[in-house]
Amino acid sequence: TEATQSVHSGALRDRILFEGRPQLLSVDQFSRESVEALFRVADIMQPIARRQKVSRVLEGAVLGNLFFEASTRTRVSFGAAFCRLGGSVCDTTGFTFSSMAKGESIYDTSRVMSGYVDALVVRHPEQGSVAEFARATNIPVINGGDGAGEHPSQALLDLYTIQREFSRLGRIVDGAHVAFVGDLKYGRTVHSLVKLLSLYRGLKFTLIAPAGLELPAHLADRISRNGHVVVQTASLAEGLAGADVVYATRIQKERFEPKEQEQFEGYTPDFQIHQALIDAHCSPRTLVMHPLPRDSRPGANDLSTDLNHDPRLAIFRQTDNGIPVRMALFAVLLGVEDQVPRSMRDA
Ligand code: CP
C-alpha cells in the first residue's frame, strides 16, 4: 500500500533522533513530515491494535516501564502496545518499590535497566529527568511524562485523533481553531500538543485559563512566531465560540508551588466543560477532548460526565488511539516498522 511504501526501516527513526540516539524525549524531535510518517505507521498498526491481525515483530524483546508517578493509561497502553507486537513487559511503579528509595541515582538505574530490557518508558515528577535516563543509555527511552515538562506520546495520540476525526468530517488540521481550557501552566500534554499543532499552518489557538495558570509565555510566543493566531481569555463563552476542538485539562494541584497552594486553597474551577456550554457555544462538529484522567471528586469541576453520550466527546477514541500510536513509536524506535506489514497474519 502507499502507507507501507512510504516507510523504510530506520529511515524515520533517523529523522527523530534525540542527541543522536533513537529516543523520544520531546515533540521538538518531530517535523510535520515525520509526524505524518509516524501516523502512517500507526494506521498500519490499527488492525493489530484491534486484534484483527497478529504480528510478532518484537517477539523476545522486553520493555521496562519505570513509572515514578501515578499512571493508568500511559503505563498500561505502552505495555499493551509492546505486547501486541509480541514483546513482554517488566514494570516498576513508584519510588517506594525501586532502589531509588535507597538513594540510587538516575544514571545507575538507567545503566542497570539497559542490561535487562530493550526499551524503557519512564515517567518521573521532575522536568528534564527522563532526558537524564536517556543520556545514560543507548537503548530507546521514551518520555512518559516528566513533571510539568512534556508528554510527547500523549500529544502524538491527540494529534492523531484530531487528524482521524477531521478526516472523517472532510476537514484538515491547517486553519483549525483549537481552544485549550484549564491548567495550561502545568499541563504537560498541552505543552507538547501546542508545539505539534504549531507545525501546521494558520491555526487559531484560544487559551482559556484561570489567572496564574496560563500557558508559559515561551510557548505562547512560539505559537505566534510560527504564524498562528493566539487569543488568551478567561471567558469560556468567548473562547469556545467557533472552536473546532475543545481540549480540556485537569487542574494539577499536585504540581503547585507552596504560594500557589495558598492562592488556590479551596479554589473551585469555573472552567468546567459540560453539555449546556458545548451546546450553547460550539457546533455539532466540534471535538471535545481531554488527555484524562478527569477528576471526578466533588468540587473538582473537571470535564463533565454529562457529555458521555455526546458523539462530539472524543476522549475514549483518544485512549483507543494510544495503542496504535505507541505501537508505531516502538516499531520506529526499534527499527522494525517495515517488517510489520509482511509479518501480519489473521488473528
Ligand atoms: N493521559 C495520561 O497521561 O494518563 P495517565 O496519567 O493515566 O497515564
Fold topology of 152-319: Rossmann fold (3.40.50)
Ligand 1 atom nearest residue 76's Cα: 8
Helix, strand, or coil (residue 226): coil
Domain boundaries, the chain: 2-150+321-346, 152-319
Ligand 1 pocket list (CB less than 6 A)? 71-74, 145, 151, 154, 291-293
In this prediction, residue 143 carries a pLDDT of 98
Q: What proportion of the chain, given as a percentage, has pLDDT over 90?
A: 88
Helix H segments across the chain? 2-5, 11-15, 32-49, 73-84, 106-114, 129-135, 152-168, 188-197, 217-225, 236-240, 258-263, 275-281, 315-333, 340-343
Residue 253's CB: how many other CB atoms inside 10 A? Answer: 15
Digit-coded pLDDT (tens) for 216-252: 999 999 999 999 999 999 899 999 999 999 999 998 8
Digit-coded pLDDT (tens) for 81-128: 999 999 999 999 899 989 999 999 999 999 999 999 999 999 999 999
Contact 333/310 with Cβ under 8 angstroms? no
Q: Ligand 1 mean position to 168 CA, how many Å?
A: 26
This prediction has a pTM of 0.95
Q: Tell me whether domains 2-150+321-346 and 152-319 share a fold.
A: yes
In this prediction, residue 5 carries a pLDDT of 42
Which of 149, 275, 260, 276 lies closest to 210 in space, CA to CA?
260
Q: Ligand 1 mean position to 321 CA, how many Å?
A: 13
Residue 1 has pLDDT above 60, yes or no: no
Structure confidence at residue 264 as a pLDDT band (50, 70, 90):
confident
Mean pLDDT across 24-52: 98
Contact 206/233 with Cβ under 8 angstroms? yes
Average pLDDT value for the chain: 94
Digit-coded pLDDT (tens) for 60-89: 999 999 999 999 999 999 999 999 999 999
Please report, for the chain, how many H helices and E strands are present, in that order.
14, 11
In this prediction, residue 261 carries a pLDDT of 83
Ligand 1 atom nearest residue 291's Cα: 1
Contact 208/272 with Cβ under 8 angstroms? no
In this prediction, residue 206 carries a pLDDT of 98
Q: Which residues of 105-130 are buried (b: 16+ CB within 10 A; e: fewer)?
A: ebeebbeebbeebbbbbbbbeeeebb
In this prediction, residue 2 carries a pLDDT of 40
> Which of 67, 292, 325 should be mutated for ligand 1, with most atoms under 8 A from CB?
292
| Residue 292 vs residue 263, higher pLDDT | 292
* ipTM score: 0.99
Fold topology of 2-150+321-346: Rossmann fold (3.40.50)
